Amino acid sequence: MVEDPKRKLLIVLAVLLLPRSVQTGNTDRLSGHHHCTDFQTANFLWGSKLKVRFLLFTSLSPSCGELISADDGIKNCSFNSSLKTKIIIHGFRALGTKPSWIEGLVQAILHTSQALGVSGTSIHIIGVSLGAHVGGLVGHFHGGRLGRITALDPAGPKYTRASPEERLDPGDALFVEAIHTDADNFGIRIPVGHIDYFVNGGKDQPGCPRFISAVYSFLICDHMRAVHLYISALNHACPILGFPCANHQDFLNGHCLDCEEPFLSSCPRIGLLEQAGVNMSRLPQEVKVFLMTSPSAPFCVYHSLVEFHLQKKRNRVTSIEISFSSNSTKDTAKITIPKDQETGKQLLAHQVPLCQITRVTLKYIPKNRFWSKDEPFVVGKFCVAPLPLNSSRTMSCLPWSLTLPSKTDISYDLPTACA
């Protein structure tokens, strides 16, 4: 159900700071206006006493946070309990400084919710890192009756081996989702929601530095990619879909091509769709889904299964590089065909829909050894299909056998019609 776009959405920013922060601002009740409140740098000399603050953002003042005073109570501020409410809880901030992504996330939520409407239960907590587990505790204290919790790379240290009562888990809200981008460092490795998106396997995000030359970016880029991915999903129309699979390698190898099990063919999508767009009355718990992204915003890519069928089996591994080209993009993957097998397959992520890919380039990479040379060419057939690939869709194959000479790029037109 889409609501009247003129209705307002309330965003409450829960400011959880260690050490204690200084907040300024108050409400002018006579005029009905309030002063804007912002983060300020903390001082280690003041100690590390936990001090929680709430800043209220509405579509009437999307860039001006109103401090909700604990003394006066929420009834004396602009909060309207009849409107849909989202609570953003940021992660650990050593100096209490304002996270750089806050304004972008607030603006994206207000813009998207005004345009699309928000359905379902009114409370939606969006927790980042440590804030994800704080959101889980809030949901736990409310008996799991909150509408939704979105965890953006929930914190891993000290939480991976914690009990469900001590961390975020699927029982904390009617719908719990998590986006994992740094599972090998600051993020948690285990699933914690009804749906857990392991982006690029959940670690080592494309576009993030792999060397320590830029220290801060090296340490935090993967961890914060979940936040920027979520903001991008709200700001751009291209879908960011996940596909259920047992593990990342099986996904890359083309063993998980649709969402028939367990989502009845409705693939979960990052964003604000109710239940992530999954059409199920009762969600299964802790389903891992996998997806690839591009190195920069808007991050969304299209996934296709590519296959190469050898004309005859070979007694050694066969490697073939596959590239998709459009007017403005080029994306590449490598197919590995095991020894004594005829078919190899792999997922290829591309930045435009398959129907906009104009050329496919194949290159056979021989496995030469010191004591024996590989064959100078291979012969076979190339096939491709966009994901999700279910029983109603079939692969498209080039209608002739291809002869691929050693280490030579061979290009072909790829005629696929747009739906």
* Share in percent of the chain as helix, strand, coil (round to 5): 20, 30, 50
- Any idea what DSSP says for residue 232? H
Catalytic residue among 34, 113, 124, 153: 153
Judge whether 129 counts as a catalytic residue: yes
Contact call for residues 259 and 245 (beta carbons, < 8 A): no
Catalytic residue among 223, 228, 303, 350: 223
Compute the distance between CA of residue 136 and CA of residue 358 in angstroms, rounded to an integer.
47
Alpha-carbon distance values, 3 to 9, 10, 292 (Å):
11, 14, 32
Contact call for residues 130 and 155 (beta carbons, < 8 A): yes
φ/ψ region of 342 (left if φ > 0, alpha if ψ in -120 to 50, else beta) reads alpha
φ/ψ region of 102 (left if φ > 0, alpha if ψ in -120 to 50, else beta) reads alpha
Catalytic residue among 59, 78, 129, 325: 129
Judge whether 153 counts as a catalytic residue: yes
**CA 265 to mean position of chain CA atoms:** 19
Compute the distance between CA of residue 227 and CA of residue 233 in angstroms, rounded to an integer.
10
**3 state DSSP class of 271:** coil
Judge whether 182 counts as a catalytic residue: no
Compute the distance between CA of residue 170 and CA of residue 283 in angstroms, rounded to an integer.
10
Helix (H) or strand (E) holding 270: none
The DSSP line for 61-129 is EEEEEEEE-TTT-GGGSS--TTS-EEEEE----TT-PPPTTHHHHHHHHHHHHHHH---S-SEEEEEET
**3 state DSSP class of 371:** coil
List, by residue number, the catalytic residues.
129, 153, 223
